[in-house]
Structure 1
Amino acid sequence: MDTPTIPSPPASPASVPAAPPGPAEAPVGGAPHRPLGAPVSTPPAEKTYPPFPLDDPAYQVFIDSLDYLKAEDIARVEDAFAYAEAAHRSQRRISGEPYITHPLAVAGAVAEWRLDATAIMAALLHDVLEDTGASKAELTERFGKPVADLVDGLSKLDKIEFSSYQEAQAENFRKMLLAMARDIRVILIKLTDRLHNMQTLGSMRPDKRRRIANETLEIYAPIANRLGLNKVYRELQDLSFMNLHPMRFNVLKKAVKAARGNRRELLTRILDGIQERMKDRHIEAQVFGREKSLYSIYKKMVEKRLTFSQVLDIYGFRVVVADVSTCYLALGALHSLYKPLPGKFKDYIAIPKANGYQSLHTTLIGPYGTPIEVQIRTEEMHHLAQEGVASHWLYKEEADGSSAELQNQTHKWLQSLLELQNTAGDSAEFYEHVKIDLFPDEVYVFTPKGKILTLPKGATAVDFAYAVHTDIGNRCVAAKINYELAPLRTELQNGDQLEIVTAAHANPNPAWLSYVKTGRARSKIRHFLKTQQNEESAALGERLLNQELKSLGIEPADVPAAAWDELMRESGNKPIKDIYADIGLGKRLASVVARRLMSREENAAGGDTLRPGPIVIHGTEGMAVTFATCCRPIPGDPIVGSIRKGQGLEIHTHDCPVIRKSRRLEPQKWIDVEWAAQPGKLFAVPIRVEAQHQRGVLAKIATEIAEAGSNIENVSMEESGGGLYTSIHFTILVSHRVHLAAVMRGLRHIPEVIRIIRERDGDDPHTTAPFSPYVKH
């Protein structure tokens, strides 16, 4: 098309921002940032450069690529280019090129996807808010709100640069994904921006190249894969590999080139054989070879510890046919040509991948025993496989059905990101959850009604429960996998059918966090546990504060509302429940809060205070009250409590050897506590039984413990006395001290038992415990 006339931007500062003073250099992804506290130096005089020539071949190719847009949209794009070129005119890339070449390349890549004029304009302008003096208001006035919002969304991503600080990286990552959730074009532009930066990393220092390449491999490449952008995904991986391990990259590149020559005759023979078989079966198909990316070859060598010569499937073949039914005909034709490798067939047409990818995959045994990977797909599937979510624009006339489904899947994933953001505690936690979901080596499982769910490899029944519904996950107690009961931690396999068993009073177990795989499940479990801990801590904090108020002679109901209002204002407008939780978690002292409420600080050491009554412990308080593992207190033991900051109230026995020094030196940290009349749970108690080393003695002891109404939670054994005796360590569950006495009484009647001791950390094994050890004479 003819070269358009580019309108010159107005010369007033209000319309065309001046480039920021400073070195003629713009880093990857944004402008340089002065570290906090660094001295501000006088900037050097700004350099001036001539305008970017409109007859430059790069600009001409870009304009020619816009032939799918209307004339008025092309004029708007030209105006955006003129504005961006004027804004960046005083800037140069590290390579020395005019900075505008970067936005121009990004916009050109966006145009290849046939995105609308708004997206192309945003690509041209994506750095003006960060690198120049332009404002969002100016962009809104000149180009409209949709363009300004896109540019603003892209610019926010770079306000916190990636660095060695994980929190900064996590915050930037969070902002990027949330901007993407609002408008998918944000991430499409951002990925083309990162791709061009990776293509031009050569001018940067090696340490910066490695840092940016690592970020790309860890974050941007997985996002491209999750959105089905296969071409971008592969190129980002290879460019990252090249910059992280340049020597390995070059050695592997030479090896692949050599292998390509050595195997040419074999590959030609296989290609001709496939084409001939398709003709024999009257199947119209495009057949072409494909070469694995260097990074995927390298990854396979590392993960499976192979040499290059052992990686036989460097080359594969792709068969593209007219429709879905022909895909299966082509599969049958191939299996009659070469024998299929058992267990290596995957039907991604019937069950698409999470990113919308569809194909039939099969591995055949070719000539000389060479394994051949073949992908069979339709033309529409091929477009989706290459361009993913971008195919909505690129092939929307040919692929409306599949593209709409892919858009729907992408929308669901983006909504799940927003849900994760709402339940995650901070940016680092959000980053951790989403990174898990960005590396989905999937398994496909079925609900009882036949619905297919896609989960990451290694996912468990708990992940499945949370994928179905949060309430199902929170209340699950067991799972039926293929109609048989199985533990919740069971890893799922392709094709499993699951049914989750729930109970109304069940709650998530903190141990689930050690084996769940999905970010959703991990986030929901943590959210529940935090909420539960806050509720339990608030209940404990209220009891502690009420106790302190009563010790001051004040009934809690008599505290003036104005006193609470003042306290909440001083606490940053925290609600009362949060103040209670802070007390329960040890972040605030109940005595200080009580005196602040009553303005009685002057009487803190006065004689009008009463001795506080003890806190009553039921044993069912949850995470707000913990029982020390050093002494394992049980109902009936004299006990004392200590508030541990951030962990609530910890209960010890009065004579626990671990706390003797602390109780003597810091008595103010300890609170009197006592057991409720009817405690509500079983308690684990470690005991040691020394018995003669004879056959069947363990069975006798276990039977006696069971008959006493107790249960064995753990058992271990060791020889003593030169093999004449055995020390058996049990952890048993009892309801109270009297119950423990009954268990030990029963064990005394076993003839082989020599000695019984209740064990505690810090005790000498030969000294007495709270229960005097029984020694048979």
Structure 2
Amino acid sequence: MSFTSKTMSHKAVQAAFKKLKETTNPYLNADEKAKLREAVHFGAYAHEKQIRKSGEPYITHPITVSTVLAELRVDLDTLIAGVLHDTIEDTDITFQDIAEHFNSDVANLVEAVTKLDKLKFRNLKEAQAETFVKMLFAMADDIRVIIIKLSDRLHNMRTIGAMSASGQRRISRETLDVYAPIAERIGLKSIQHELEDHAFRALHPNQYRAISDASKKIAGNRKKAVERIRKNIEKALLESAMHAEVTGRQKSPYSTYKKIKSKQVDIDQIHDLFGVRIVVKELHQCYLALGVIHNLYPPNENGFKDYIAVPKQNGYQSLHSVVTGPFGMRLEVQIRTEEMDQLSEAGVAAHWLYKHKGAQPTQSLTKARSWLNSLLKLQKDSGSSLEFYENLKADLGTDEIYVFTPKGDIVQLPLKSTVLDFAFAIHTSVGAHAESAVVNGNPATLSQQLDTGDSVSIKTAKGLTVTADWLRVVVTSKARTAIRKELKDIKDEDALILGHRMLDRALDTYGYSFEKLDPRAIKRVLKHYQLKSMDELLKAFAFGQLLPSIAARKLMPLMKQRRLDKDYQPKESLTIDGTEGSIVNYPNCCMPLPGDEITGYLSPSKGVVIHRSGCINLQETLKSAPERKVFCSWSVNTSGNFKTSLEVDVVNRTGVLANLASLIASEDINIVTIDQKDKDTGFSQLLFTVEVENKAHAKQLMDQLEGHREVVNVNRVYHEKNH
């Protein structure tokens, strides 16, 4: 393959290459510069006939991506991969070409970064999710992949104006939801802020303009005051024999927008809209400088955060203190060392800056690795890429709290995390069997929200299992995924037991039994239904996917099958005792209770659905699928509570609802919902949905209600042919 300089003649390309050279000159040696120049020529030749939507030659994009990487001072392989990151997907260049001309590390990086446009997805949201999961696995193998991906996204955001309005919104939303938070998590603050800025401007141009204008106006009023405070701090630190770099800083428009939304305040009430950053030489000087500043300007209560002692999840370290300056002006002061400052801007990329010195991985890199490992575990436990993506979005954008175990270990959690989130963060088994907790020495519920500094102890119990209600309590994706997995395991176990009972009953109808089944017949039937095991077959009955009567026939010896009556009637009905769990459903149309005559329906989506035998909905359903009818009866001993609805006609007087609710509660009956509608003048109808043990229990409650002086009539609500 030959390369000529004619591909480099375009002014835009020359300008982009000049910027790359200026950025890499300070830290690349002569050989490395030559290799990078070769990569640019290689990429220019590959993309020779391609033009960006902005009208510029395509090669300007990968060169600029490499320049963004160079600003982070990454290693040569990463720079070359940045230049070539689109070649495998968009040109005739292959993995082998890159490996031969450069090396296998570069080729692996380019292949990992390659966009996933060739994959087929049912919809855009799924494509986003799948792309993200693939990206995550690439990150886990080599974190440089995500640094290149973020740099690629940054240049795309800088030139987003060339896209359609709908494209701008979609890309900007994805940038704010996923890419900017990832940049923050791995410590790439400069990239994070620029991504947010471009995305915010594209998504909400009016709000962006309003906040920018307001910030400029406030800056005009406060600029002199901030500069005066900056000089005072600089002078005070020099007098204390500390040489420090003291600079003024202003909050970005997107950070300001988030603060306005979360705190529900006006822009002029944000205390850290302007601030001062102090960079010192040594760690101990951070705390000395803090003392000097607090002596100069009084600190605000609850305005101090020590991210040096307890770093953020991404390894960020700094002291933050809100102080009150002249004229009552509040501003935030940040104090950190030079190394901390480097890490706050370059994050994990800073690791490559020290690579040639043989330094150990930075704290930021170690934190990022730990975070990636937890994400991979989460991804394995999630039901789908889309579920994982939605779960993760919630985790990425939140602030953090720091709580303590009884031993004093620190656990980092997203803001608004609950005791149950903490329990799952300790271990999945602790969360799954959590019964109660003690927070700061006081008894606490599992749903109690935690704050930074709380000390939490969890009490577990062996017999406890998770409930679907827990999903409303937790906010972390780890807890949510673990609960869903536990619920699925419980449902599978329930389905296995019920499916076994259903097959036993079907076989018994034909005068056969489970124990008599021939292994060859089982193997034949599993092959017919394309199932791997008997457990899968049994669960398929309970989930309504297969009919046990038909499967039972197929399991018979062939000679016996020929003599069977096709219109079979089961000898015994399927007994329901309330212990079947979530695999048996009781619909709201007729709300059957133990004591009612019942009939089941094998629903392909809901499993076994139990109706009252006279329910209109059941009759209509069975017209189209009579083979799905299940003859059922209640067990003599049922357990648990069942829902039923009672219509109560009452005289419309003040306090009648409260009186009746109190009467129901006094019977130790749980009220699920209450509805009310006015009828004729002076009368109302109350609808109570309650949980009772059986039909007799419901009748007992109805008698109690009818005995109340303001009650005219009480009926159970159901859709049957004959009331």
1:227 and 1:355 in contact (8 A); partners too: yes
> Of residues 675, 691, 710 in structure 1, which corresponds to 2:634?
675
Give the distance between the partners of 1:67 and 1:365, measured in 2 at CA. 41
Question: Counterpart of 2:450 in 1: which secondary structure?
Answer: coil
Q: SS of 1:588's equivalent?
A: coil
Deviation at residue 469 of structure 1 after TM alignment: 0.4
Say whether 1:274 aligns with 2:257: no
Secondary structure at the aligned position of 1:341 is classed as strand
The answer to whether the 8 A contact 2:495-2:542 is kept is yes
- Residue by residue, what CA displacement relative to the aligned partner does 1:524-564 show, whole Å, maximum 9, x if unpaired? 11112122222322332333233333334443344443443
Alpha-carbon displacement from aligned partner over 1:173-226 (angstroms, at most 9, x marks no partner): 221122112211110010111111222233333433333222222221111111
Deviation at 1:449, TM superposition (A): 0.9
SS at match of 2:362: helix
Using the aligned pairs only, state the percent identity.
37
- In structure 2, the partner of 1:635 is 594
Deviation digits for residues 245-293 of structure 1 (CA, Å, limit 9, x no counterpart): 3454445445544544443322222212222322343333221101111
Which residue pairs with 2:244 in the alignment?
A: 285
Q: Distance in 2 between matches of 1:723 and 1:90?
A: 81
Aligned residues: 718
Does the 8 Å CA contact 1:719/1:725 hold for their aligned counterparts?
A: no
Partner of 1:759: 716
Cα distance change on mapping 1:71 and 1:624 into 2, 3 Å:
same
Question: What's 1:177 paired with?
Answer: 136
Higher deviation after alignment, 519-528 or 712-721: 712-721
Q: Is 1:51–2:10 an aligned residue pair?
A: no
Alignment match, 1:190: 149
1:454 aligns to what?
412
TM-score w.r.t. length of structure 2: 0.88
Task: Establish whether residue 649 from structure 1 lines up as the match of residue 608 from structure 2.
Answer: yes
Of 489-498 and 58-67, deviating more is 58-67
TM-score in terms of structure 1 length: 0.82
What is the one-letter code of the residue matched to 1:354?
Answer: Q
Q: 1:601 to 1:95 in 2, by over 3 A?
A: farther
Query: In the alignment, which residue of structure 2 is the partner of 1:528?
Result: 486
The answer as to 2:551 corresponding to 1:551 is: no
Q: Give the letter for the 2:71 counterpart.
A: E
Counterpart CA distance in 2 for 1:739 and 1:255 is 66
Task: Tell me what 2:402 maps to.
Answer: 444
Secondary structure of 2:301's aligned partner: coil
Matched, 1:584 2:538: no
2:347–2:365 contact (8 Å) kept in structure 1: no
The answer to whether the 8 A contact 1:162-1:169 is kept is no
* Aligned position for 2:106: 147
- Over the aligned positions, Cα root-mean-square deviation in angstroms equals 3.8
Specify the code of the residue in structure 2 equivalent to 1:340: P
Whether contact under 8 Å (2:587, 2:609) holds in the other structure is: yes
1:465 positional shift: 0.8
* CA distance, structure 2, for counterparts of residue 696 and residue 416 of structure 1: 54
The answer to whether the 8 Å contact 1:705/1:743 transfers is no
Higher alpha-carbon deviation: 537-546 or 56-65: 56-65
User: Shift of residue 301 of structure 1?
Assistant: 4.0
Q: Does 1:425 align with 2:380?
A: no
Q: Does 1:344 align with 2:300?
A: no
Q: Aligned to 1:389, which of 326, 339, 348?
A: 348
Residue 312 of structure 1 and its aligned partner are, at CA, apart by: 5.9
Change in Cα spacing, 1:378 to 1:628, as seen in structure 2 (3 Å) is same
Q: 2: distance between equivalents of 1:588 and 1:487?
A: 42
Deviation at 1:580, TM superposition (A): 2.5
Q: Which moved more, 1:478-487 or 1:62-71?
A: 62-71
Alpha-carbon contact 1:552-1:608 (below 8 Å) kept: no
Q: Structure 1 residues 194, 607: closer, same or farther in 2, change over 3 A?
A: closer
Question: In the alignment, residue 504 of structure 2 is paired with which amino acid?
Answer: N
- Measured in 2, the distance between the counterparts of 1:162 and 1:550 equals 47
Q: 1:84 is matched with which residue?
A: 43
Query: In the aligned structure 2, how far is the partner of 1:371 from the partner of 1:711?
Result: 56
Q: What is the aligned partner in structure 2 of residue 30 from structure 1?
A: none
Tell me how far apart the structure 2 counterparts of residues 388 and 202 of structure 1 sit (CA, whole Å).
29
Instruction: Find the aligned partners of 1:126 and 1:569 in 2 and give their Cα distance.
Output: 47
CA contact (8 A) 1:291 1:315 kept: yes
1:38-74 CA-to-partner distances (Å, cap 9, x unmatched) read xxxxxxxxxx993225994543553461664566555
* 1:468 equivalent in alignment to 2:457: no
Answer yes or no: is 1:113 the counterpart of 2:69. no
* Residue type of the alignment partner of 2:543: L
SS of the aligned residue for 1:549 comes to: helix
Q: Which residue of 1 aligns with 2:316?
A: 357
CA shift digits 1:587-619 (9 cap, x unpaired): 222334334445799969946845352112221
Aligned 8 A contact 2:75 2:353 in 1 = no
Deviation at 1:700, TM superposition (A): 11
The amino acid of 1:544's aligned partner reads: M
Counterpart selection for 2:96 from 117, 125, 137: 137
Instruction: Tell me the equivalent position of 1:104.
Output: 63
Letter of the 1:543 partner, please give it.
R
Task: Please report how far the alpha carbon of residue 338 of structure 1 lies from its aligned counterpart in structure 2 after TM superposition.
Answer: 1.9
SS at match of 1:189: helix
Q: Corresponding residue for 2:188?
A: 229
User: CA separation in 2, counterparts of 1:222 and 1:51?
Assistant: 37
SS at match of 1:525: helix
The answer on whether the counterparts of 1:691 and 1:727 sit within 8 Å (CA) in structure 2 is: yes
Where do 1:714-729 residues align within 5 Å? none
Contact map agreement 2:5 2:41 (CA 8 A) in 1: no
1:323 matches 2:282: yes
Distance 1:717 1:572 in 2: 48
- Kindly indicate whether the alpha-carbon contact (under 8 Å) linking 2:272 and 2:322 is maintained by their aligned counterparts in 1: no
1:511 Cα offset (Å): 1.1
User: Relative to 1, partners in 2 of residues 1:567 and 1:141: Cα closer, same or farther, differing over 3 Å?
Assistant: farther
CA distance in 2, matches of 1:440, 1:595: 57
CA–CA distance in 1 between the matches of 2:440 and 2:541? 48
| Structure 1, gaps ≥5 residues long | 1-9, 17-47, 769-777
Matched, 1:504 2:488: no
Alignment partner of 1:200 out of 154, 159, 174: 159
Matched to 1:420, the amino acid is: L
The 5 Å alignment of 1:598-613 reads 598=556, 606=565, 609-613=568-572
Equivalent position of 1:212 in the other structure: 171
- Give the aligned residue type for 1:454: Q
Matched residue type, 2:274: Y
Distance, in Å, in 2 between the alignment partners of 1:490 and 1:81 is 57
Q: Check the 8 A contact 1:285/1:320 in 2, yes or no.
A: yes
| CA 68–197 in structure 1, closer or farther in 2 if over 3 Å, else same | same
Query: CA 1:399–1:327 in structure 2 vs 1: closer, same or farther (change >3 Å)?
Result: farther
Aligned CA distance change for structure 1 residues 97 and 684 (closer, same or farther; 3 Å) = closer
On the 8 A contact 1:553/1:609 being kept in 2, the answer is: no
C-alpha distance in 2 between matches for 1:226 and 1:561: 55
Q: Distance in 1 between matches of 2:598 and 2:145?
A: 60
CA distance in 1: counterparts of 2:531 and 2:686, whole angstroms? 56
**Which residue number in structure 1 is paired with residue 442 of structure 2?**
484
Alignment partner of 1:539 out of 481, 486, 497: 497
State the shift of 1:467 in Å.
0.6
Alignment of 1:683-762 (within 5 A): 683-686=642-645, 711-713=669-671, 734-737=692-695, 747=704, 757=714, 759-762=716-719
Say whether the 8 Å CA contact 1:595–1:604 is kept in structure 2.
Answer: no
CA distance in 2, matches of 1:690, 1:203: 66
Kept in 2: contact 1:161–1:169 (CA 8 A): no
Report the residue type matching 1:613 in the other structure: E
In 2 relative to 1, CA 133–163 (structure 1 residues): closer, same or farther, beyond 3 Å? farther
Q: Distance in 2 between matches of 1:96 and 1:380?
A: 41
Distance 1:194 1:563 in 2: 58
